[in-house]
Amino acid sequence: MSKPLVLVVGASGRTGQRVVRALRRHGFPVRALVRDASKASLVAGEGVEVLIGDVTDEADIRRALTGVTYLVSALGSKGPTDAAHIELIEFTTIAELAQLAKEMGVQHFVLCSSMGVEIPEMIPPLAEILRQKRRGELALEHSGVPFTIVRPGGLTDEPGGGGVAIARTLPGFGMIARDDVAEVMVQALLQPEAKNKIAEIINAPDAGPADRPGLFAEVASG
């Protein structure tokens, strides 16, 4: 039985590319929304439909969501930038995605957010990004779309496959490979227990792998 179509926004980014690959490994057909046509080759491949469009444009998003069952967002501001751009990407766009996803019958929205969004003052250089990410999370939570919010620690480009600690709130900060973040986001679509949960994740040698059964059963609700 074929799996349902997944739209990935932020697909050409370093995390987004890994999300596309992880979805394909698990047999999902993917529609990858890419703004810059020159980056289409980063995600193109068998089972991947590359759609050129702007995630901030409602018409492009409606086109991208047509026929989609699941939505995965790997969007994010590219480091410190002006406040208006941060708000546009981290809050406004996520809120509009959630609203349109609800309207168009999306069954699950998986959002990559960040650890620290509830304590942005603890990380001053990223405080504004974290505040806007939290606003985006809340917009998704209140949209009525079934959701999973994944909050990774600091992102690395190291190979994945290591242990992944997961909880609603982890006791401290840490780092995590983008490969493992991508796998956790795909597991959110595969594991029913993931719906309507928020999960912090970091690499931890003594934890099981990102694709372990019951991963999201370990995460408390609320």
C-alpha span between 97 and 53 (Å, rounded): 14
pLDDT in tens, 151-179: 999 999 999 999 999 999 999 899 999 99
Choose the catalytic residue: 12, 73, 114, 143.
114
Q: Which of 3.30.1600.10, 3.40.50.360, 3.40.50.720, 3.40.30.10 is the CATH number of 6-218?
A: 3.40.50.720
The answer to whether residue 79 scores a pLDDT higher than 80 is: no
Q: Which distant-in-sequence residues (6+ apart) come within 8 Å of 209 by Cβ?
A: 161, 162, 163, 164, 183
Residue 114 is a catalytic residue:
yes
Domain boundaries, the chain: 6-218
> What's the pLDDT band for 82 if we cut at 50, 70, 90?
confident
Half-sphere exposure of 117 (CA within 13 A, CB side): 25
pLDDT in tens, 10-61: 999 999 999 999 999 999 999 999 999 999 999 999 999 999 999 999 999 9
The answer to whether residue 1 scores a pLDDT higher than 70 is: no
Determine what percent of the chain is predicted with pLDDT higher than 90: 89
pLDDT on residue 125:
83
Q: Tell me whether residue 56 is exposed, middle or buried, using C-beta atoms within 10 angstroms of its C-beta: 0 to 12, 13 to 18, 19 or more.
A: middle
Q: Which distant-in-sequence residues (6+ apart) come within 8 Å of 190 by Cβ?
A: 26
Angle between the N-to-C axes of helices 58-65 and 93-103, in degrees from 0 to 180, rounded to the nearest 10? 40
pLDDT in tens, 66-76: 999 999 999 99
pLDDT in tens, 92-114: 999 999 999 999 999 999 999 99
> What's the pLDDT band for 85 if we cut at 50, 70, 90?
very high
> What's the pLDDT band for 222 if we cut at 50, 70, 90?
low
